[in-house]
């Protein structure tokens, strides 16, 4: 589906549902409220475009459900992880003292942050459910730094539209738009269920985005890139780029 026809789909929809007279007004609304999803894989069909637009209109500021401590899954589910390579093993052997998170791209002050530094920033915790697209889920408590805090510290530029996060250990990357990047429940987690985030659960640092499916919560992240487009950043495997729940 071309960019033009995706735009037309949304603007026609807005004009019809909101009773907006004139497609030009609807087009301005779609632009203002960021309703046209990016098209990293070149395959963003009408269904997905409408899902994204509807979610953005209805749930821009909504919160993912939080659970009570007694609802935490026991024992916490963790997927087995394949080898993460020699460099990761070296960092792990050193207790991740040499590990760094780099923050780069459309930012005023690129940064390279140790775990110790991340832990001095304001922290946020959440008891939320991780939902895999394959049909299983678990509830856990995660603690970390809100991504919004990092973006503020490095001075994300106003033209920025997306945040890409990279797991150099196994090549599983993710990206989100600014609405999700700035959302208070989007956190870079270093702790889980009262302890450090184990390597088995994605340590030393894992993105947690409870408003989207589990595959957007990328484990072992060590690079964050702020950008205004996703052209060089393909979506997660064959999965849909936007996975709102």
Positions in the binding site for Mo ion (CB under 5 A):
132, 214-215
Stretch that binds ligand MTE, among 10-18, 58-66, 93-101, 212-220 (CB under 6 A): 212-220
Q: Pattern of binders to ligand MTE over 52-91, x per CB under 6 A?
A: -------------------------xxx------------
Task: Note whether 104 binds ligand MTE by CB under 6 A.
Answer: no
Q: Which residue is nearest to ligand MTE (CB)?
A: 214
Q: Compare residues 165 and 215 and give the one whose CB is closer to Mo ion.
A: 215
Task: Note whether 127 binds ligand MTE by CB under 6 A.
Answer: no
Q: Compare residues 7 and 141 and give the one whose CB is closer to ligand MTE.
A: 141
How far apart CA 158 and CA 109 sit, in angstroms, is: 14
Task: Note whether 183 binds ligand MTE by CB under 6 A.
Answer: no
Task: Note whether 245 binds ligand MTE by CB under 6 A.
Answer: no
Task: Note whether 23 binds ligand MTE by CB under 6 A.
Answer: no
CB of 108 closer than 8 Å to CB of 229: no
Task: Note whether 219 binds ligand MTE by CB under 6 A.
Answer: yes
């Amino acid at each position: 589906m071309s960019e033009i026809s995706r735009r037309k789909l949304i603007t026609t929809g807005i004009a019809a549902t909101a009773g907006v007279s004139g497609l030009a007004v609807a087009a301005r609304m779609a632009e203002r409220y960021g309703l046209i999803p990016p098209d990293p894989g070149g395959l963003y069909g009408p269904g997905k475009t409408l899902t994204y637009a509807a979610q953005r209109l209805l749930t821009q500021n909504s919160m993912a459900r939080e659970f009570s401590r007694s609802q935490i899954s026991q024992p916490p589910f963790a997927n087995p992880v394949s080898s993460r390579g020699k460099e990761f093993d070296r960092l792990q052997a050193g207790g991740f003292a040499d590990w760094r998170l780099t923050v780069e791209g459309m930012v005023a002050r690129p940064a390279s942050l140790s775990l110790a530094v991340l832990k001095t920033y304001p922290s946020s915790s959440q008891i939320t459910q991780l939902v895999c697209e394959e049909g299983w889920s678990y509830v856990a408590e995660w603690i970390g730094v809100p991504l919004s805090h990092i973006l503020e510290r490095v001075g994300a530029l106003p033209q920025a539209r997306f945040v890409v996060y990279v797991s150099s250990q196994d090549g599983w990357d993710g990206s989100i738009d600014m609405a999700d990047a700035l959302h208070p429940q989007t956190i870079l987690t270093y702790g889980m269920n009262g302890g450090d985030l184990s390597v088995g659960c994605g340590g030393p640092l894992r993105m947690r985005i409870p408003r989207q499916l589990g595959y957007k919560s990328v484990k072992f992240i060590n690079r964050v890139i702020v950008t205004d487009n996703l052209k060089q950043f393909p979506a997660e495997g064959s999965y849909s780029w936007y996975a709102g729940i």
